[in-house]
Amino acid sequence: MAEDNSIFIGGKPFMNYVTAVVMQFTTKNADEVIVKARGKFISRAVDVAEVASKRFLEEQVGVKDIKIDSEGFQNKEGRDVRVSSIEIFLKRN
Amino acid sequence: MAEDNSIFIGGKPFMNYVTAVVMQFTTKNADEVIVKARGKFISRAVDVAEVASKRFLEEQVGVKDIKIDSEGFQNKEGRDVRVSSIEIFLKRN
């Protein structure tokens, strides 16, 4: 789930991800955590970042930067598909 | 659907939104368009911004800024609920 301080959002229970973010800042004393997601999980990544920073780490952590990107490729049927991604950079205030 | 140059993403067909964004820049000659969404439509807003800027307006328009936010309130059952939102600022290069 983590590469350095990255949390990759998928289909596990929502609070797992919030806890993972909060623990990076508290137990592991990270200065920055990157919440990442692709496709339909992008909405969830925003939810995780908001709940972690506003409910659990209020005044301590904020959104520093947000990047979006996408990559195009051909699926099995030969159709052009584009999948979006997001990176939300949370940083200690 | 629009307040000034804002496009609010919902459940209509995907290409409606892409077309709306592209037309703001082309037909209406806008300098900036803001793609907005709440909750589960956030993923879709990122898709719309990516397809409009990378496939249709390549080299002409880019992502200038992204903001996320959330608001907490109580639902009918008295439970605390938080709904996230996103604003993606697309700007002519």
Hey, which bits of chain A come out as E strands? 6-8, 32-38, 61-74, 80-92
Rounded CA-CA distance A4/B69 in Å is 26
For the entire predicted model, the pTM comes to 0.92
Give backbone dihedrals phi and psi of A85, rounded to 5 degrees, phi first. -145, 160
Q: What is the mean pLDDT of residues B6-19?
A: 97
- Contact between residue A38 and residue A85 where contact means Cβ atoms under 8 Å apart: yes
- Taking CB atoms and an 8 Å cut-off, how many pairs form between chains A and B? 63
In the predicted model, what is the mean pLDDT of chain A? 94
pLDDT at B2 over 90: no
- Of B40, B50, B67, nearest to A68 by CB-CB distance is B50
DSSP H stretches of helix in B1-93: 14-25, 42-50
Report pLDDT for A2.
44
Q: What is the mean pLDDT of residues B39-50?
A: 98
Residue A26 — very low, low, confident or very high, per pLDDT cuts 50/70/90?
very high
Report pLDDT for A30.
95
Class of the A6-92 domain? alpha beta
- Of A42, A49, A51, nearest to B46 by CB-CB distance is A42
pLDDT at A42 over 80: yes
Q: What is the mean pLDDT of residues B3-11?
A: 89
